[in-house]
Amino acid sequence: MSLTLAIIKPDAVGSGKAGKILAHLESAGFTVRALRLTTLDKTQAGAFYAVHAGRPFYDELVDFMTSGPVMPMVLEADDAVAKLRDAIGATDPAQAAEGTVRRLYAESKGRNAIHASDSDENAAIEIGFFFSMHERLGL
């Protein structure tokens, strides 16, 4: 078993889709190991997406990710990083496969419902960004 980080983004939380997305992920075989509802400020969102700093969509991404509550969560499964990326689909919902979270629930490439870590190394960093040591002791 391994861990990854998902974030249900402000578009999906704000339109009441968080429960459906959570149920979808549980049905796909993930176990939720930690979860919270929080609102990021610009410094926090900018730091989380620092890898994208300087790209044309960066300011829009930070504005969007601070526009309302988000729901970060630690998910566990066999090969969790790859499995979650399969389950959520392509960044652009128009190109995401049938039955994926983004195909079902995302609005656009920017407002795309969910984030997922892209490697085991980044999953560890991103889990540490949102969850404190005491919340991770059981992981």
What amino acid positions are annotated as catalytic residues?
Answer: 115
Among residues 45 and 77, whose Cβ is nearest to ligand CMP? 45
Best CA proximity match to 49, nearest among 129, 113, 139: 129
Strand arrangement of the beta sheet that strand 114-116 belongs to: 31-35, 71-77, 2-8, 114-116
Nearer of residues 33 and 93 to ligand CMP, judged by Cβ: 93
**Nearest distance in Å: CB 137, ligand CMP:** 27
Task: Report the number of secondary-structure helices (H) and strands (E) in the chain.
Answer: 8, 4
* CB nearer ligand CMP, residue 109 or residue 136: 109
List Cβ neighbours of 15 (8 Å cut-off, separation of 6 or more): none
Q: Minimum distance from CB of 55 to ligand CMP (Å)?
A: 8
CB of 65 to ligand CMP, least distance (A): 8
Residue with tokens 């190394």: 121
Tell me whether residue 69 or residue 133 sits nearer to ligand CMP (CB atom).
69
DSSP 58-118: HHHHHHHHTSS-BEEEEEEETTHHHHHHHHH--SSGGGSPTTSHHHHH--SSSS-SEEE-S
Q: How far is the CB of 26 from ligand CMP (least distance, A)?
A: 20
Q: Which residues bind ligand CMP (CB under 6 A)?
A: 52, 57, 60-61, 91, 109-110, 112, 115
